[in-house]
Amino acid sequence: MSCEHEHEEIFPEFAKIGQPVPEFKLEAFDPTEGGFTEVDLGALRKEGKWVILFFYPADFTFVCPTELADLGSRYEALKGLGAEVVSVSTDTKFTHMAWKTDERLLADVKYKMGADSSGEVSRFFDVWDFETGLADRGTFIISPDGVLVSSEINFHNVGRNADELFRKMEANVYLREHPNEACPAKWTPGEKTLTPSEKLVGNVYEALND
């Protein structure tokens, strides 16, 4: 992407929950168009998009294609919530293209595949493995306002679940429209939410079951 001096200007510190994410660009492979493109966080923000960054260790590995295929099965539903999905590894856009062509599990992947070959973005989101130069399994949701609202990091041997990511997105979309409420565990649209106040202290059971 850019040199170290520019990295310090664009990414002054690690990403933090509840804090704005700097605008940045990534080279990418676009499976839908079959060619190379660019992911522009600033442009997506202007479009009012939620952004899901889905980091994974490497192309041509083992758990990774199962995750990207699972994510692909939920891509249209996530787009329906106003989100754009970008998978990210430290592989180049050329490797992404070759992997997408060779690996049959990726046949239905349509979201852009970002190339963080310098590791700058991975370092910012604190998923960079300094020993291997690869990214950990990190999932990050950025609101249309550019704020990081969700962060999940798994060790390399545990795959993620796109159904749970979709549930988190549903909750975040709801809460952006209802900022005074909170979603309890396993919340899905139509279920009761919580409105934090002194009356709720010690009475969560009653609030959810009245």
* Two structure tokens written together for 116: 């963080």
Give the percent of the chain with pLDDT over 70. 95
- Per-residue pLDDT band for 13 (boundaries 50, 70, 90) equals confident
- Overall number of domains in the chain: 2
- As a whole number of angstroms, the distance between CA 65 and CA 210 comes to 45
Same domain, yes or no, for 154 and 186? no
Same domain, yes or no, for 208 and 111? no
Same domain, yes or no, for 165 and 191? no
Same domain, yes or no, for 185 and 150? no
> Model-level pTM?
0.93
Same domain, yes or no, for 70 and 115? yes
Same domain, yes or no, for 34 and 10? yes
Mean pLDDT score of the chain: 94
Ranges of H-type helices in the chain: 4-10, 41-46, 63-73, 75-80, 93-102, 120-124, 162-177, 204-209
> Domain containing 45 — which CATH number?
3.40.30.10
- As a whole number of angstroms, the distance between CA 37 and CA 134 comes to 22
113-129 confidence digits (pLDDT tens): 999 999 999 999 999 99
Same domain, yes or no, for 91 and 143? yes
Same domain, yes or no, for 124 and 191? no
Q: Which domain holds residue 99?
A: 4-177
What pLDDT score does 5 carry? 36
What pLDDT score does 9 carry? 56
147-196 confidence digits (pLDDT tens): 999 999 999 899 999 999 999 999 999 999 999 999 999 999 999 999 99
| Bigger pLDDT: 8 vs 57 | 57
- Per-residue pLDDT band for 11 (boundaries 50, 70, 90) equals confident
Same domain, yes or no, for 146 and 186? no
Q: Is the pLDDT of residue 1 over 50?
A: no
Same domain, yes or no, for 48 and 98? yes
Residues 6+ apart with CB under 8 A from 88: 26, 53, 54, 55, 56, 113, 114, 115, 116, 121, 122, 135
Same domain, yes or no, for 127 and 100? yes
Catalytic residues: 64
**4-8, 63-67, 116-120, 142-146: least confidently modelled range:** 4-8
29-52 confidence digits (pLDDT tens): 999 999 999 999 999 999 999 999
Residue 198 vs residues 46, 175, 191, 209, 210: alpha-carbon distances, Å: 38, 20, 22, 18, 18
SS3 191: coil
Same domain, yes or no, for 105 and 173? yes
